A and B are shown apart, each in its own frame.
Chain A
Amino acid sequence: MSDALIRAIEQPDYKSVTPFRIGDTIRVHQKIKEGNKERIQKFEGIVIQRRGGGMGKTFTVRKIGANGIGVEKIFPINSPSLEKIEVVKTGKVRRAKIFYIRDIVGVVKIKERRKKRK
Chain B
Amino acid sequence: MSGIIGRKVGMTQIFKDGVMVPVTVVRAGPCVVCQKKTEEIDGYTAIQLGFEKQKEHRVTKPMKGHFKKADVAPMKLLREFRCENPDQYELGQEITIDIFKEGTKIDVVGTSKGKGYSGVMKRWNFSGGEKTHGSKFHRGLGSTGQHSYPARVFPGKKMPGQYGNERVTIQNLEIVRIDKENNLLAVKGAIPGAKNSVVYLSNTVKSY
B residues 179-204 in Cβ contact with A at 8 Å: 179, 181-182, 184, 186, 195-196
In angstroms, how far is the closest chain B Cβ from the Cβ of A17?
A: 14
- B177 partner residues in chain A, CB cutoff 8 A: 9, 12
A7: nearest residue on chain B (CB-CB)?
Answer: B12
User: Given that A9-B12, A9-B25, A76-B20 are known contacts, is A2 also in contact with B196, CB under 8 Å in the complex?
Assistant: yes
A33–B20 alpha-carbon span in the complex (Å): 15
In angstroms, how far is the closest chain A Cβ from the Cβ of B136?
A: 45
User: Given that A10-B14, A55-B14, A78-B15 are known contacts, is A5 also in contact with B20, CB under 8 Å in the complex?
Assistant: no
- A8 partner residues in chain B, CB cutoff 8 A: 179, 181-182, 184
User: Given that A2-B195, A8-B184 are known contacts, is A55 also in contact with B9, CB under 8 Å in the complex?
Assistant: no
Q: B179, A9: Cβ atoms under 8 Å?
A: yes
Chain A interface, number of residues (Cβ within 8 angstroms)? 19
Chain B CB within 8 A of A112 CB: no
Chain B CB within 8 A of A81 CB: yes
Q: B12, A6: Cβ atoms under 8 Å?
A: yes
A106–B41 alpha-carbon span in the complex (Å): 85
Chain B interface, number of residues (Cβ within 8 angstroms)? 19
In angstroms, how far is the closest chain A Cβ from the Cβ of B21?
A: 11
Chain B CB within 8 A of A60 CB: no
A81–B195 alpha-carbon span in the complex (Å): 31
Chain B CB within 8 A of A49 CB: no
A78–B186 alpha-carbon span in the complex (Å): 18
Chain B CB within 8 A of A56 CB: yes
B23: nearest residue on chain A (CB-CB)?
Answer: A9
In angstroms, how far is the closest chain A Cβ from the Cβ of B86?
A: 31
- B9 partner residues in chain A, CB cutoff 8 A: 2, 5-6
- B25 partner residues in chain A, CB cutoff 8 A: 5-6, 9
Cβ-neighbour of A5 out of B14, B15, B184 (below 8 A)? B184
Q: A80, B184: Cβ atoms under 8 Å?
A: no
A81–B23 alpha-carbon span in the complex (Å): 20
A residues 54-86 in Cβ contact with B at 8 Å: 54-56, 76, 78-81
The 10 closest A-B pairs by CB, nearest first: A9-B184, A5-B9, A8-B182, A2-B9, A9-B179, A6-B12, A55-B13, A13-B15, A80-B18, A9-B186
29 A–B pairs (Cβ distance < 8 Å), ordered by A: A2-B9, A2-B10, A2-B196, A3-B10, A5-B9, A5-B25, A5-B27, A6-B10, A6-B25, A8-B179, A8-B181, A8-B182, A9-B12, A9-B23, A9-B25, A9-B182, A9-B184, A10-B14, A12-B177, A13-B15, A33-B18, A54-B12, A55-B12, A55-B13, A55-B20, A79-B15, A79-B20, A80-B15, A80-B18
18 more A-B contacts (CB under 8 A) besides A9-B179, A33-B18? A2-B9, A2-B196, A5-B9, A5-B25, A5-B184, A6-B9, A6-B10, A8-B179, A12-B177, A54-B12, A55-B15, A55-B20, A56-B12, A56-B13, A79-B15, A79-B20, A80-B18, A81-B18
